[in-house]
Amino acid sequence: MTICIDMGATEIKVAPITQNENGISIGKIQRLPTNAHLGRDGIVDALYTAISSLCSADADGVAIASAGDIDTKTSVITYATGNLLGMEGFDFVRFCRDYFSLGARAINDAHAALLGEVEYGAGVNYRDMRVAMLTLGSGVGGAYYADGAIVTNEDNGFGRFGHLCIREGGRKCTCGKLGCSEAYLSGRAIHRDAAAMGIDGYDIFEKFALGESRNVEFVARFRENLGATLDRVMEISPFDVCIVGGGVADWMGAQFDSVVDNLGYNVIRASLGNSAGMYGAYAHYKENRQ
Ligand SMILES: [Zn+2]
């Protein structure tokens, strides 16, 4: 059994993943607050609690997906945004060795989500192809997979599709730039846009399916923004398939296929939901453990 962790800005998810002859299975997922507002000590305490909850003689190691930039060779956080303040330089391998006598491997959470989908989820039939991923959540995350591995660059910035400019001089993004895809496609942006059109956020896509005119118009705009984002992704990261995940994809529910239909790209829905990061952390751990 491997202890699998997904550490985000607001919560840490932890679950055991076990491999047997039939493949892998994930156990009960526990969630606890990251306590990022308490700074590094709070975050490290939460991480300690998460690992402790599953630490036993059965555990062979710790697989971690984390927000921030991770050096996948050393499993050190090289850059942490305000989301995980004070965590820069944190060494997961040393932490797990010193406190739990366990080996560990860490990977960025967006990279983990895509790796999880490719190894165990919606992307299993695309392993030998080029796969892009867009995670439409509170922000917009992205990652890119080609030649059998996650593609990244020196500063881990590659694949951050949330900050591709889709509208010159467009809306101001949280990153300070104008016209980023995140300013149009994040759950927050969608809620705001829906409210501005007098649409109830909850059943946007159900009412679209029923032909309610405002909702049809809303979805047409959403499709334009998604299509513009896919155009930009294709320019810098040519893909054979794009996996779309995150809360907004869940929100589309049964309407997912009709919403992404005829955009000119092969777009499929992520299938691992909130567990993708843990699955990806596990895949990375298995590939790289020493
Ligand atoms: Zn931005």
Tell me the per-residue pLDDT of 81-110, one tens digit each, with 9 for 90 and over. Answer: 777 889 999 999 999 999 999 999 999 999
Residue 140 CA to ligand 1 centre (angstroms): 9
Is the distance from CB of 250 to CB of 64 less than 8 angstroms?
Answer: no
Residue 14 CA to ligand 1 centre (angstroms): 29
For 8-60, strand residue ranges (E) read 11-20, 23-26, 30-33
> What's the rounded Cα separation, in Å, for the pair 106 and 113?
13
pLDDT band at 241; cut points 50, 70, 90: very high
pTM of the entire structure?
Answer: 0.93
Q: Rounded mean pLDDT of 232-252?
A: 94
List residues, by chain if needed, whose CB lies under 5 Å from ion ligand 1.
163, 173, 175, 177, 180
Residue 156 CA to ligand 1 centre (angstroms): 16
Residue 177 CA to ligand 1 centre (angstroms): 5
> What's the rounded Cα separation, in Å, for the pair 285 and 15?
14
Q: Residue 286 has which token pair?
A: 């298995």
Q: Residue 253 has which token pair?
A: 């529910």
Tell me the per-residue pLDDT of 244-284, one tens digit each, with 9 for 90 and over. Answer: 999 899 999 999 999 999 999 999 999 999 899 999 999 99
> What pLDDT sits at residue 9?
86
Residue 229 CA to ligand 1 centre (angstroms): 12
Q: How far is CA 213 from CA 201, 204, 205, 207, 256, in A?
A: 15, 11, 12, 9, 18
Query: Which range among 114-118, 173-177, 238-242 shows the weakest confidence by mean pLDDT?
Result: 173-177
Which residues are 13's β-sheet partners? 6, 31
Give yes or no for residue 156 having a pLDDT over 80: no
For the chain, strand residue ranges (E) read 2-7, 11-20, 23-26, 30-33, 61-66, 69-71, 76-79, 103-108, 131-136, 140-146, 149-150, 241-245, 267-269
Is the distance from CB of 244 to CB of 225 less than 8 angstroms?
Answer: no
CB atoms within 10 A of CB 74: 14
Dihedral of the alpha carbons of 80, 81, 83, 84, in degrees to the nearest 10: 20
Residue 54 CA to ligand 1 centre (angstroms): 37
What letter represents residue 210's amino acid?
Answer: L
Query: Domains of the chain by range and CATH?
Result: 2-112+276-288 (3.30.420.40), 124-271 (3.30.420.40)
pLDDT band at 201; cut points 50, 70, 90: confident
> What's the rounded Cα separation, in Å, for the pair 165 and 29?
36
